[in-house]
Amino acid sequence: MRRASPFAVDEVEATAWQRKAADQGYAVAQAVLGFRYAQGVGVDQNGSDAVVWWLKAANQGNIDAQMGLAFALAAGKIVPKDEESAAHWWRAAAERGNIDAQFNLGVLYYNGINGNVDYKAAAFWFKSASEKGHVNAKKYIDIMREKGLL
């Protein structure tokens, strides 16, 4: 017979506590609650609820929420795809120095937002991320040079 670990987590109860903190305006709790809804951990998966909580935290400057929101909006899996909004939230995190946001924003501009490619903006964000050590950003810069886009 397998015994329950004394450290086992009751995800439903953990989510309830997270919700209490989020309801009091704590951005980190709001961001985590957004991820819980996005992944269906301790609650039913619900993209709309994930976005609601991420927006609350993102508007308070929480980079994790900005990133989660941007990924969700760019992917269009748990909420409708919205590349312009994804760019907005990645830019918010990128301007605060988040290299993953800088890289992802570069990819978004490189591939085009709603079909509108902006190689100048892509290069700017790839260079920003590359200067901070993002290896894949450096690869994109090299590709852009090879294609004569820089």
pLDDT above 60 for 2: no
In whole angstroms, what is the distance from residue 29 CA to residue 80 CA? 24
Q: How far is CA 37 from CA 10, 31, 87, 117, 134, in A?
A: 16, 10, 22, 32, 29
Return the residue matching tokens 């100048």: 120
The pLDDT value recorded for residue 21 is 96
pLDDT above 70 for 1: no
Instruction: State the average pLDDT over residues 34-59.
Output: 96
User: Beta partners for 132?
Assistant: none
Encoded amino acid at 96, one letter = R
User: Beta partners for 118?
Assistant: none
Cβ neighbors of 113 (< 8 A, separation 6 or more) are 83, 84, 87
Instruction: State the average pLDDT over residues 121-142.
Output: 97
**Tens of pLDDT along 59-89?**
999 999 999 999 999 999 999 999 999 999 9
Task: List the one residue out of 101, 99, 92, 41 whose CA is nearest residue 62.
Answer: 92
Q: What is the mean pLDDT of the chain?
A: 94
What pTM does this model have?
Answer: 0.89
- For residue 15 the two structure tokens come to 């989510």
DSSP character for 60? T
- For residue 118 the two structure tokens come to 């902006």
In whole angstroms, what is the distance from residue 147 CA to residue 150 CA? 8
